Amino acid sequence: MGNDTEHEDVGAQEGVKARRPVHVYVLCSKLDVGGLLEDGLDERLELEVCPTADALRQHINESVPDVVVMDLDAALGEGNMLRALRRQYARLPVVVVAEDPPTETVVRCMKESAYDVVNAERAGRELARKLQAAAREHRLLVEVDQLGDAYKRRGKFGDLVGISPALQTIYTIVRNVADTGASVLLSGESGTGKELVAQAIHNLSGRRDGQFVCVNCAAIPKDLLESELFGHEKGSFTSAESRRIGCCERADKGTLFLDEVCEMSVSLQSKLLRFLQDRTFTRVGGMETLEVDTRVIAATNRDPLQEVRRGRLRDDLYYRLNVVYIPIPPLRERPEDIPVLAQHFLEVMGDKYNKYFADFSPEALRLLLCYKWPGNVRELENTIESIVVLATSDRVTPDEFPENIRAAAETAEEPPLSVEEALSYVRQALRQPTLPQEETEDVVPFEEVEKRAILDAIRRCEGDISKASRKLGLSRATIYRKLEKYGIR
């Protein structure tokens, strides 16, 4: 008996947790939204009717609800409460109820960031489900925001994309080292993303409000590199017509990224070593010793230990830079990232050039995996951009690839991954957000999923039907026909 009672208590507690009430504020100018909700009203919905827009604002200021529901007159009428709430509470979902709304009205509501528009003739249980779904999404977004604040993140890792074990290890190191202030040495072939890793460390650190200053030591003449790093005083050399602030000084309270550090002359390396030791320096031609608080991250496309043995990199500078060492493997050694990056670049470049692409054909995926990508991520990005610019269909096939890549792939061995594995990695890394499931075991009707996808695309595209149609891979005529089918005319 004792055990049965214990199980009943646990089940009851779990049931209460699963049925957390949804706090709803209702603003109705003409339509009786509360009456429409009677059929769907249960212990999971707590309605609080606000007689005026000012009353709604006051209620929200005192306690933000899970969701707001209003009729069309309140939403788009005098004061445009939809727009006003978006400005003050961007995350707060608003469901609009309207009697037989025309398509133009629905598009306007979605452009003003309404969560959904429900036809009053089909409300009842449907409206109750919409409010519960909107509330769950709102709570998840709030939790994401709170986690983001807790970990002081601005995005995941900037532009870093990939799911390979090697890249996951790099993500972990970046998280651990970001706030320490320690010097970091990155190594990897050209195009592997060394600057992106350095930028991610900066963005996750307490220095993110300072500047991220990048210096490519291989691109600046050796006799000018010292001035680039430490600055110079007016008249210190022939062309020094005014004082110049160097990169070390510009990166004060921020991060200095020294790319291709092994290309720096040995004599200048000694001055950099002094700077790393006490963060002091003297401008070229100057007498004053300046002190800054600058973090240094260095990178090389060579083997740093080999450079030390050859005398191209001072051993004391190597050990000073190499507090934390992050080797970045070439793309060919992390094949799981190839299809993920390719799909990512396809979406990014599609947005950039206002084109829609569904995916890669299986043959194109196999070609991506067979090619060795000697230029690494940079070469892959440039290749996908070229494909997007020149392609005329919405699916990438081998014909769109440059001839050198097709020729190399034809003579290559079997790819390290199968097409099925590649597709699974793409779905794992770039999967689209799924709709929150109802707290029942019922299957969500396909029509409902389809409707939400279309309305969500319209909202994300700020009411632009043409753009939404490209994102969804549907024609504008199809979207209008679907909206009419849902009773949204």
Strand 290-291 with 280-281, pairing: antiparallel
Give CATH for domain 165-329.
3.40.50.300
Q: Are 144 and 76 in contact (CB under 8 A)?
A: no
Give the domain ranges of the chain: 2-150, 165-329, 332-430
Specify the DSSP class assigned to residue 431: P
| pLDDT of res. 41 | 52
Specify the DSSP class assigned to residue 445: P
User: What digits encode the pLDDT tens for the residues 16-73?
Assistant: 334 567 888 888 766 676 666 655 455 577 888 888 888 888 888 888 888 898 888 8
CA distances from 392 to 124, 387, 418 (A): 46, 9, 27
Topology match between the domains 2-150 and 165-329: yes
Of 3.40.50.300, 3.40.30.10, 3.20.20.80, 3.40.50.2300, the CATH number of 2-150 is 3.40.50.2300
Q: Are 191 and 378 in contact (CB under 8 A)?
A: yes
DSSP 3-state assignment of 329?
A: coil
Instruction: Report whether pLDDT(289) > 80.
Output: yes
pLDDT cut 70: percent of the chain above it: 81
User: What digits encode the pLDDT tens for the residues 217-273?
Assistant: 999 998 899 999 999 998 878 777 888 899 999 999 999 999 999 999 999 999 999
Taking domain 332-430, whether its CATH number is 3.90.1140.10 is answered by no
Q: Are 327 and 188 in contact (CB under 8 A)?
A: yes
**Residue 116 β-bridge partners:** 95
DSSP E strands, 350-454: 359-360, 395-396
With residue 295 as reference, give the H or E element that holds it.
strand 295-300
Contacts of 269 (CB under 8 A, 6+ apart): 313, 314, 317
